[in-house]
Each structure stands twice: as structure tokens, then as C-alpha cells.
Structure 1
Amino acid sequence: MAPKPSTDRIALIVVDMQNGFCRDEGSTAKLGQLLDFDITQCKAAIEPCAKLVKAARAAGVPVIFTRLQWRPDYRDGGVLTDELLPGLVEGRCCAAGSWDAELIEEMAPEDGDFIIDKNRYSAFYGTPLASILSSLDIRNLVVCGVTTNICVETTVRDASQRDFRTFIMRDATGEIAPERHEWALTTMDTRFGWVIDSSEVLSAWGRQGAADAA
């Protein structure tokens, strides 16, 4: 039987909800005009992600934002920016300190939230995420954000290999190609976690938030 999300030893990880991926003026949308893809699904993930963040805070669930970014000279990008996707450099995608790299305003961090900066797809690779989760005694994760089959899926795979029970939000994730979104959800649901609607999490966290306020 599949586990159900609760507020017990759980954290919300919001992956890369940045201007560069979620705004029409961002680098991904501009690159998409040349390569025939768009960020419609990424933008659609904004509202459900924002609802999850609000509910998590109300229920006392830790909120962890991740940001994919590189040095302005991209010397920390390695094979990814040098060879696989040099267009990231040409488009100035998520250069540290730029508007492109900033979290969108709907995801503005509050006191008590965590921000993880990374220069690889996984939120675990080369970051303090694992030690933060250990310090918080977290064993369960709710993951939302963009893009579904790149940074979301890579993070979920890593979480699974670290024995975190991981819930992936079907309606609060987004991809620049709808078919890749579906492939990623199927893969994650089959081997690395449980793909569910955010309404299940909101219901569980809403009950806890109401109990805390009583």
C-alpha cells in the first residue's frame, strides 16, 4: 500500500522556481523561441507550488527552495555548460546575481525557510541539503517545481537512493516539453517515489495547520 503524506518528519523541496525558467522574459523562454519549446507548463506550476509553500509554513513543515545557478563566467558549469548545452552560456541562463537566477516573487523566502544554491541538476550534489535534512530529522519529502525531467527527477532519484520517502507533485511540476513531463512522472512513480496530486498534501497539511491554530 502506498504511504500517505502527513506532517511527520517531512519537508517541502521547491525546485528551481526561478525567473529564468518561469517568466516569459527569462532565458529559457527566449531560448525556446529558437528551439521550438515553451514554458507554459512551468508557469502553470507556479500557483500550486505557491499553495504548497503557504500550507507547509502554516503546518510547521520546513520549506527548502533550490536555485540552479552558475558563476557569471560559467567556469563552474563543467561539461554541462561547456559542451552539452553551451546555449546556457550564450543566453546567460541563471548567472549568479542576475534577475534570471532569482526565485520568482511568488516564492519569496521567509524567515525560517532554507535556500540551496546548486550548479548541477541534483539538489543533493555538492550542497548541504543532506546535512540540513539530517539536522531536521527529516525522512519524508514533498517535491515540486521545475523542470520535471531534469532537476526535479534528478533530485528525486538522489533522494530515493538516500532512502527518503518521496512524494512528487503531479500538478505542481512543469517541463518545457509535455511528453517529457509524462515520461518523468511515470519513471519516478515506478521506481523512485509516489506521484500524487498536491490536493492530497494540502489536505493533510491543512488539517495540521488548523489543529495548530486551535
Structure 2
Amino acid sequence: MGLPRIAPYQLPVAGDIPEPRGPWKIEAGRAVLLVHDMQTYFVRAFDRTMAPIAPAIANMARLIEQARALEIPVFYTAQTGDQDRRDRGLQADLWGPGMSNDPGETAIVAELAPKAGERVLVKHRYSAFQRSNLEPLMRVRGRDQLIVTGIYAHIGCLMTASEAFQRDFETFVVADAMADFSRAEHDMAVRWVAGRCGVAMTTDAILQALGAAPALSDVLTRERMRADIAATIHEDPGEIGDDDNLVDLGLDSMRAMTLVTGWRDLGLDLDFSEFAQDPTLSRWWAVVERRLRKMAA
């Protein structure tokens, strides 16, 4: 009973996002950003230094920053500690008593901490709408679109997206700003939302739709590449030196191709053959850096 220890896995990239049934387009003047259950108690099930949680937190931070700049309301959900058994209900049968009232468990992680005046809704059940005032808070602000980020994708994020649709809110889940028990469950949640109740997008696609396409040089950095490589071979990023042979560290050609495809999906014209010649981070970064300079010229 309780939360599992979650093994690292790579987040979805643009090429993994399923086509939605819904025709909805995100608009800054209609949207609310939801940061779902990003409390230390839930986050500690992951290795904080690795994917999926490290890049997911980074992507949530980017979305929060842009939402604040555009005056898009940012709402958070958070459970209380030491819940009474009667209040916790059937969740206790599946997940045990939950978190304690220790701030080391209840706090929202520092990278995403709410600012003064931002709403933190008390979370009671899987869906953020259950026993909360999320719907009236959106209605009174004239907002009818909900952007869902956070954890866990196939539980609270999925249930919140489903209920948002049933309350006639256009719903968007950010596939690379969520994390889950496994990549399979993560993908299931994204597919289900896209096919039944919402639109799945990447962080970059959301930012672009909001009129804030980030510079590639800010998105794909040497450290981002190091983190992506580490997640793929299940290593700590700190263990990957710039000149280490990545094949010797366990990176086979199929995984390398997946990495390059993901970076290409960010908008770079990359040729896998250039990466195959010298499988080191320093060489790979040199290839990417040349492309970035060419695009900026």
C-alpha cells in the first residue's frame, strides 16, 4: 500500500503526441493553468535528478512563468496532511493514510512554489473539481479552458481533464509537463484524453500557441542534452562526462536515434549520421551548437 518507487523514463516528445478529436485552440484570455499535486510527498517517489520528473518540473516552471507574464490565472492543488479517515474515504483502502502534516511532505516543490495571491485548492479526491471551488473560480474569471500539468498523469491529471470536459471546459494536457508511475501509464493517459475529452500538447506547443515561442538556444542546451541522455540510459546526469563514450555507458543505436529524433522535433535540422561518428556529449553539443548558430544568423 502507498506509492511505488518510480523508475526513470523519457517524457513524450512532439512526435509522440496523438491527434485530438476536439478542434479546440488554446487562447491566453480564456485559459487557466493548473499545477496538480506537485507536493514533495508525491514527487519524492521519483529520482529528482532524472526524467520524467526533472524535465517535467522544468517545463511546468516555464509554463508558470509565461502564464504569469500573460496574466493567465495559475491554480494549484494540494492535499492536506494527517487526513481524517472519514475525509480520506476509499482512497485510504488503496493508498493508505497519505501524507503527514510535516511541511517536508505537504509543501509544493520550491521550483514551482505559488506566489502571493495564487490559489492553492485543497485536494480531496482524484479530480481537482471534487469538493473544490475550481469551477466557480474559473467561471467568475470568464475562463473556459483548462491547461493540466502535474502528477500523476493517469490518476489525478486524467480524472481532472475528464471532469473538466464534462463541465464544458475545453481541456489541454501538457504531455511533457506531467509525470507518472511509468511511460506506459503516462502514454495511456495522454492517448485517452486526446481521444475522449481534450487536446494533448507539448510545453513548446503551448508556449507557441500563447505567443511565446521560446528560442531553441534556451530550450536545447548542453545540460538538457546531458539530462536526456542520462534518462535514456538510466544514469545520473552527473555521471556523464562531456568526453565519455556514450556507447560504453550503454547507449545503443536505437536509443541514440530516439534522442536525436526528439531533439529534431524541437525544430533543429539534425542528421543522425553526425551523431553516430563520435558518440560523446561534447561532439554532439558541437553539432547542435552549429545548427543553433546557423538558425540565428
TM-score over 0.5 (shorter chain) = yes
- The answer on 1:79 being equivalent to 2:90 is yes
Identity between Structure 1 and Structure 2 (%): 29
> Contact conserved, 2:81 with 2:102, CA < 8 A, in 1?
no
Cα displacement (A) at 1:181: 0.5
> Contact conserved, 1:68 with 1:121, CA < 8 A, in 2?
no
Distance in 2 separating the partners of 1:43 and 1:146: 12
Distance in 1 separating the partners of 2:201 and 2:209: 13
Distance in 1 separating the partners of 2:158 and 2:79: 14
Unpaired stretches in structure 2, ≥5 consecutive residues: 1-21, 214-297
> Contact conserved, 1:70 with 1:77, CA < 8 A, in 2?
no
Cα displacement (A) at 1:131: 1.2
> Contact conserved, 2:37 with 2:151, CA < 8 A, in 1?
yes
Higher strand fraction (1 or 2)? 1
Change (3 A) 1:96 1:205: farther
Change (3 A) 1:154 1:175: same
* 1:22 equivalent in structure 2: 43
* 2:117 equivalent in structure 1: 112
One-letter amino acid of the counterpart of residue 84, structure 1: L
Describe the SS at the equivalent of 1:141: strand
Q: TM-score, normalised by structure 2?
A: 0.60
Describe the SS at the equivalent of 1:45: helix
* 2:74 equivalent in structure 1: 63
Cα displacement (A) at 1:72: 4.5
Cα displacement (A) at 1:46: 0.5
Q: Cα deviations across residues 40-97 of structure 1 (Å, max 9, x unaligned)? A: 423431000010000000011000011133434544211111x2222xx2xxx33345
- The answer on 1:13 being equivalent to 2:23 is no
Describe the SS at the equivalent of 2:103: coil
Question: Of 140, 145, 160, which residue of structure 1 is paired with 2:145?
Answer: 140
* 2:107 equivalent in structure 1: 102
One-letter amino acid of the counterpart of residue 68, structure 1: Q
* 1:191 equivalent in structure 2: 196
* 1:211 equivalent in structure 2: none
Range with bigger deviation, 124-133 or 4-13: 4-13
Q: Cα deviations across residues 112-149 of structure 1 (Å, max 9, x unaligned)? A: 31111112111000011111111111101111111000
Q: TM-score, normalised by structure 1?
A: 0.81
Distance in 1 separating the partners of 2:68 and 2:86: 36
Report the count of equivalent residues: 190
Distance in 2 separating the partners of 1:40 and 1:78: 32
> Contact conserved, 1:40 with 1:176, CA < 8 A, in 2?
no
* 2:57 equivalent in structure 1: 46
Distance in 1 separating the partners of 2:138 and 2:159: 17
Describe the SS at the equivalent of 2:107: coil
Change (3 A) 1:95 1:121: farther
Question: Of 201, 209, 213, which residue of structure 2 is paired with 1:204?
Answer: 209
> Contact conserved, 2:66 with 2:212, CA < 8 A, in 1?
no
| Greater gyration radius | 2
- The Cα RMSD (Å) is 2.1
Cα displacement (A) at 1:207: 4.4
